[in-house]
Structure 1
Amino acid sequence: MVGPNRPQIVLFGSSIVQFSYSHEGWGSILTDLYSCKADIVLRGYGGWNTRLALQVLDQIFPKSLSEKTRILVLSTPPVNEEQIIKLFGSSRRSNESSHIYSEACIKMCKELGIKVIDLWTALQNRDDWLTAHFTDGVHLTAEASKVVVKEILKVVKEADWEPNLHWKSLPNEFAQYSPTIFVGPNGNTPVIVADLDLDWQAQWI
């Protein structure tokens, strides 16, 4: 462990999580946004399902989590069956079965009072989703990852969590030491570097 103890955001799941840093993935976008605010911890394992995840849950997360721990679940995403068959020859996955799993996940989370994102629906909210959102029929493109980040930040921003965990609501680490620069035509508009919204980050405010 390095540096001060700051908030951690753990991404835990299967290959959708494991590859979230590939192809300008959603994990890499979140890491950029939270870079001076929280540590993004990647715990994704290709081919895993819930039964496998439960076997290592106590090794991933401490048994006594903080009272401030918050859980956000992503439901099962859709798939492009034709693309899967083309690349892998056959598949036991179908978009219909993905929908069944997604609905079951959403129902369970609502019963438990856990925040959940309907990823199956969110990733189909454009006409060309079959070609735009998958690298191989299962895993996500950069365009799909933007949808995932948008949905995550929407839920986090609107959640009645204390503190609010949206990236703009969390303080910057060591902001008190951040230098001040001057911008504007008169050169007298002070801007703290830690407070800058960079062009590629502004879309996520």
Structure 2
Amino acid sequence: MRARLLEATVELLVERGYAGTSTTLVSERAGVSRGAQLHHFPSKQDLVVAAVQHVTEVRGRELEEAARRLPRGARRTRAVLRMLGDHFSSPVFAAALELWVAARTDEALLAEVAPLERELGRHTHRLTVELLGADESVPGVRELVQATLDLVRGLGLANTITDDAHRRRRILDQWALTLDGALGTPGENA
């Protein structure tokens, strides 16, 4: 029942945003009584905090699963960037984005969202370094990895307004060429 409530919360965050998500709608979507929902999550804040934790765990698992399916060798950088681009344009990212925006003006929510996002950000950075075979002891490489993550996050944000998959793919393909040159892996995207 708890899982159904969390999934319903994420779905509603994506569909209706934070302001449009209510405990009543979550109960209805999850197919549970209001009393059962209140037993698990007495307030919207409790429900949203649990959803933040749930979304963070789901995002981490999705990244790990996608990383395991990446090809080795030729076109690896391009595949890593497309994986990140897909992740940052997924419904789970849209739900997280709703929580970020709400947390900007809600101190209690920010106190819950910020540490989880910092941890997920560190994990995503480490994973990206590993997947790209980047050597962060080389000056500028850490910044390139962070610029890559900022780029895919920004493209994911743009995707919330309009489906931008074709444009995103072209941008990421060009960035893969740039990264290969900067990281010393020329020819990967040939």
* TM-score normalised by length of structure 1: 0.29
More strand by share: 1
Q: TM-score, normalised by structure 2?
A: 0.31
